[in-house]
Homo-oligomer: A and B are copies of this chain.
Amino acid sequence: MITKEQLEGPQKITWCTGCGNFGILASLKNAVGELGVPQNQFVIVSGIGCGSKIPHYINLNAIHTLHGRAIAVAQGIHLANLDLQVLVHVGDGDTLGEGLGHLMHAARRNVNLSVFIHNNGVMGLTKGQFSPSAPRGYVSSTSPPEAGAPMNPVNVVAYALTAGATFVARGFSGDQKGLVALMRKAMKHKGFALVDILQPCQTWNRQLNWKFYNEHTYSLQENGHDINSRIAAIEKAFSNGDKIPTGVFYEEKAPTLAESLALPPDGRLRDHQTDIKAVQAIIDELIL
């Protein structure tokens, strides 16, 4: 148990009043506090965007990386030291646009990471342009003036499922209790876990706001859903017309990437010393 005081953020929060990120931060503190992993074993990896500022508001190891590249960096951190509990906090612009390839491939490799998408349907920090998860027709300063966002949104749950993620869920910043539970499950999951978090952006997105989500979400678990079928999960992911499902879509035990790599038995490349005699042998084998 890590106390709230121990997790107290090193910096003053810069998010707008009413921002959905507050609920995510509070849930994160809760989930981290109760996970049973020592505080210095957590590493937060974030991208660039409003949500990606979260490492400055909670006291953990962290690296605040580049727009779109957080998952790739996190993958390296994890593989260099399997003891670490690596949490990725990223935006929707971040991860579903710039970084989509990394997301899909890390999911496919079943890298043991927990990825939390602060999904607000806009690029918050750059002032409200439509993001890959903005609804078709969403009007912003960079969408074609007449048409709005000229395409269907990225359905990240469906994408992650298709790519092969082994834990996929959706939470809502307004349902902290539910979100804490999902986060904890994701952290405990061995493999690639993704939680799509519905996060109202109070400032820019007037459509996907608190009211909308309060009225248009329902719980998968409360309505009967088989979390062991990938195809059923994908079907549910696509069934997000009037009502958006939240909860766990899918869960599966599968070999993680780390199991296939040539890691030392303790999983700590960081402290491993290559046997220099073995290197010498490799050299000597080349001698005629």
Q: Are A100 and B104 in contact (CB under 8 A)?
A: yes
Q: Are A108 and B231 in contact (CB under 8 A)?
A: no
Counting contact residues on chain A (CB < 8 A from B), the size range is 35 or more
> What does DSSP make chain A's interface, helix, strand, loop or mixed?
helix
Segment at the B interface, from A142-150, A176-184, A274-282: A142-150
Of residues 123 to 176 in A, which have CB atoms within 8 Å of B's CB atoms? 132, 144-147, 150-152, 154-155, 158-159, 161-164
Give the residues in chain B near A189, CB-CB below 8 Å.
none
- The answer, yes or no, to whether A69 is at the interface (CB within 8 Å) is no
Q: Are A108 and B154 in contact (CB under 8 A)?
A: yes
- The answer, yes or no, to whether A118 is at the interface (CB within 8 Å) is no
Give the residues in chain B near A223, CB-CB below 8 Å.
none
- Name which residue of chain B comes closest to A235, CB basis: B231
* Residue picked from A100, A101, A152, A262, most chain B C-beta under 10 Å: A101
Q: Are A104 and B144 in contact (CB under 8 A)?
A: no
Of residues 69 to 98 in A, which have CB atoms within 8 Å of B's CB atoms? 97-98
Known: A162-B155, A162-B158, A163-B159. A261 touches B150 (CB 8 A): yes
Give the residues in chain B near A150, CB-CB below 8 Å.
109, 257, 260-261
Give the residues in chain B near A100, CB-CB below 8 Å.
100-101, 104-105
Known: A231-B235, A262-B144. A151 touches B104 (CB 8 A): no
- Name which residue of chain B comes closest to A162, CB basis: B162
Interchain residue pairs A-B with the least CB separation, the first 3: A150-B260, A147-B260, A162-B162
